Amino acid sequence: MSQQKVISLENIRVACRNCSLSSLCLPMGLAPDDVERLDEIVKRTRPLHRGDFLFREADRFRSLYVVKTGSVKTFAPSPEGGEQVLGFHLPGEVIGLDAIDKDMHACSAKVLETSAICEVPFTRLEELTATIPSLQHQMYRLLSKEIGHDTDMLLLLGKKNAEERLAAFLLSLSKRLHKRGLSATDFYLSMSRHEIGNYLGLAVETVSRLFTRFQDDGLMHVDRKHIQLLDVGSLESLVGGAGQNRRQQQQQS
């Protein structure tokens, strides 16, 4: 390049204490001094681009990763050669927690759009959590929250029909974006219809048809990746269940 126009990396290396995500992320509820100590072990890498991997399945586990800006998908290979999308991760969300057990990543993480990522070496983090009770508690909560989220997905995949799944997906995105200060009703999807379908256990065609139907019903407006939710209340009642009275899955004692 002819012109020496290097942008100082310092500009993107926002310390945790100045990060707008600190209330969602690891530092949540930490004393300023402790945030400082956490700050010291966090590595801030240059921005990653669409298609870049944070890690791949079977990689040695070294660090947790936190999305600072952008979005990431995680996915696991299924035995037949296909793959299962496990999640879409927005700013403030932590990735890699499933790798602690076997000290190896069981899934891959791929960046969906240009993203900034914080890397947190796990061994250092573990040392830190042993001396900062509130950080230890935060870690337990984080891991527990992930389990709770997976539980929600199990219920979704086990009991909900296509309509309910897509509505739940849209509302989940909406809520999470809103928490991050973005619009809850107007946003862009960084993932393809394929990926949405894969994530929800549906065929692409079904996802596409549902987008069309939801739009026809006035629930939302769709233009390619651009989504506008027009009737959040109705979407919520769709998820709620009674969508179309499928037989109640009863349970014996």
By the rule CB under 7 A, 193 interacts with DNA = yes
Q: In terms of CB distance, is 18 or 140 closer to a second copy? A: 140
Q: Which does 86 bind (CB under 5 to 8 A by kind): a second copy, DNA, none?
A: a second copy
By the rule CB under 7 A, 206 interacts with DNA = yes
Site string for a second copy, 157-186 (x = CB under 8 A): xxx---------------------------
Q: In terms of CB distance, is 2 or 245 closer to a second copy? A: 245
One of 201, 215, 230, 231 touching a second copy (CB under 8 A): 201
Three-state SS annotation for the chain: CCCCCCCCHHHCCCCHHHCCCCCCCCCCCCCHHHHHHHHHHCEECCCECCCCEEECCCCECCEEEEEEECCEEEEEECCCCCEEEEEEECCCCEECHHHCCCCECCCEEEECCCEEEEEEEHHHHHHHHHHCHHHHHHHHHHHHHHHHHHHHHHHHHHHCCHHHHHHHHHHHHHHHHHHCCCCCCEEECCCCHHHHHHHHCCCHHHHHHHHHHHHHCCCEEEECCEEEECCHHHHHHHHHCHHHCCCCCCCCC
Considering only residues 66-85, where is the footprint of DNA by CB under 7 A?
Answer: none
With CB under 8 A as the contact rule, which of the stretches 9-17, 38-46, 169-177, 199-207 interacts with a second copy? Answer: 199-207
By the rule CB under 7 A, 209 interacts with DNA = yes
Considering only residues 12-51, where is the footprint of a second copy by CB under 8 A?
Answer: 51
Considering only residues 72-131, where is the footprint of a second copy by CB under 8 A?
Answer: 75-76, 78-86, 97-102, 106-107, 126, 129-131
Residues that bind DNA (CB under 7 A): 161-163, 192-194, 201-209, 211-212, 222, 224-225, 244, 246-247, 252-253
